[in-house]
Amino acid sequence: MLMPILQIHSEDMPAYAIVCGDPARAEKISRKLENARELAFSREYRTFVGEYEGVQMAVVSHGVGSPGAAVCFEELIRAGVKTLIRVGTAGSYTADYPAGSVIVSTAAVRSDGLTRQLVPDGFPAVADIDVTSALVAAARQTDRGISEVAKVGVGITVTLDAFFTGVEEIPHRKYKQAGALAAEMEIAALYIVSTLRGARAGAIVAIDGFADSDLAAEYDPHTDAVAKAVEHEIEAALRALAALARQDQA
């Protein structure tokens, strides 16, 4: 069956997928797979399939923001994907996790508009516990020399629609005081769609700056520290999916 927006066929899709915002990052991740091939590039949605440690998996880009990302998640699940891990970037709320750190998201504050049209206001956006455990374990592994590059945090993230400020204040200070670790733009949508459709999901983000900074000049997502953190999260997500697949087979 053809998915009309992603332009992929369900018979080509494995049960495991990494999702990310940037189509170029999807291509980068795909180069870590064996026998990788590109299935489609439709709008912001770029899809690759291949093998990692003997496990068939997909890598798919979903663009920026919850509405478009949710379309991607919906069609992937309809095509047969059962486990999804998002790798992305986020702004930190705490000096404990500066640029170059990585954070595994256990749950997401639903400060987006999309999920309010899918579930009631009090419904939580929560990661699957098995996916989260696999991500935490993979991120903290010491081999391949990645663990010393980035500090690993585990906790609640915030999903927002706005990237740049307007006349309304974004309540970063409240989220920070409440204990959220970082802000990004798609995780709540991933968790809600996965819960609704019977899939499991988790997320890991590389910190590229501070979300509550008033100085736009401070934001630079293209540093070596951020690049190493992105490499760290990609390796962790690949390992986590492979570990989950082995658990499922057992």
Residue 191 has, within 13 A of its CA and on its CB side, a CA count of 28
From 22, 112, 128, 208, active-site residue:
208
Told to judge if 128 belongs to the known catalytic residues of this protein, a careful annotator would answer: no
Residue 179: both structure tokens together: 């204990």
pLDDT average, residue stretch 66-84: 98
Nearest C-alpha neighbor of 151 from the set 135, 138, 163, 140? 140
* Residue ranges of domains in the chain: 10-249
Three-class SS string for the chain? CECCCCCCEHHHCCCEEEEECCHHHHHHHHCCCEEEEEEEEECCEEEEEEEECCEEEEEEECCCCHHHHHHHHHHHHHCCCCEEEEEEEEEECCCCCCCCCEEEEEEEEEECCCHHHCCCCCCCEECCHHHHHHHHHHHCCCHHHCCCCCCEEEEEEEEECCCCCCCCCCCHHHHHHHCCCEEECCHHHHHHHHHHHCCEEEEEEEEEEECCCCCHHHCCCCCHHHHHHHHHHHHHHHHHHHHHHHHHHC
pLDDT in tens, 232-246: 999 999 999 999 999
pLDDT in tens, 78-128: 999 999 999 999 999 999 999 999 999 999 999 999 999 999 999 999 999
pLDDT in tens, 130-176: 999 999 999 998 445 554 556 999 999 999 999 888 899 899 999 99
Q: Is the pLDDT of residue 45 over 50?
A: yes
What pLDDT is attached to residue 215? 45
For 10-249, CATH gives 3.40.50.1580
